Amino acid sequence: MVRSRLPRRKRTYRFRFTPRTPRPCPCSQTPTHRPPLAHPSAPAQPISLEEFTNLVAEALDTLPQEIIEKLENVAVTVEEQASPDVLAEMGLTNPCELLGAYRGIPRPWRSMFAPLSDFPDKIEIYYWPIVRACPYPHEIKEIVRRVVVHEVGHHFGMSDQQLRALGY
């Protein structure tokens, strides 16, 4: 067929990006008021902090034994949300953007001649940002595992880009 005989369609242009109005993070409100969860179909009562802590312990138990043996000087804690100091260190302002943090010196950067620090390295997992990020309760367990593996990866010197390439 000759090109001139094809019917011509009118071209329509669509904008690829529609700007959204920013909404305040529910994590930054007063602690006495708990704002609604992120998704309308999310349960009215999220999992408790104790259940969340058990999920973090289960995620650590799924790690290979060789990895667990090398986590000798690492404390894993569950916090409500990131403190302003941690947010400032990470260059963030919104506490909902940070699901976990590794605070310490990664293993490859340590000297074998230097003694272990008086204080252990610390992996912090943040409760409210993870609970709000998951629209359904069954997703919380998978997100907790991914965050725990991500932060353990930082302990072993992996960058965010390397962890994203691995799916964490």
Task: Record the pTM.
Answer: 0.69
> For residue range 148-158, what is the model confidence (pLDDT) as tens digits?
999 999 888 88
pLDDT of residue 130: 93
Burial class (CB in 10 A: 0-12, 13-18, 19+), 107: middle
- Please name which of 73, 130, 120, 72 lies closest in space to residue 100, comparing C-alpha atoms: 130
**For the stretch 65-103, what's the b/e string if a residue is b when 16 or more beta carbons lie within 10 angstroms of its beta carbon?**
eeeeeebeebebebbebbeeebbeeeeeeebbebbbbbb
Rg (CA), the chain: 22
Q: Which two tokens stand for residue 58?
A: 């289960």
Assign 134 a pLDDT band (cuts: 50, 70, 90): confident
pLDDT of residue 138: 84
Question: Alpha helices, DSSP H only, in 1-81?
Answer: 49-61, 65-69
Structurally, at CATH architecture level, domain 44-106+117-168 sits in 2-Layer Sandwich (3.30)
pLDDT of residue 1: 38
Please give the backbone phi and psi of residue 70, each rounded to the nearest 5 degrees, phi first: -90, 0
Q: What is the mean pLDDT of the chain?
A: 76
pLDDT surpassing 70 at residue 129: yes
> For residue range 31-74, what is the model confidence (pLDDT) as tens digits?
444 444 444 444 455 789 999 999 999 999 999 998 888 888 88
pLDDT of residue 124: 94
pLDDT of residue 105: 80
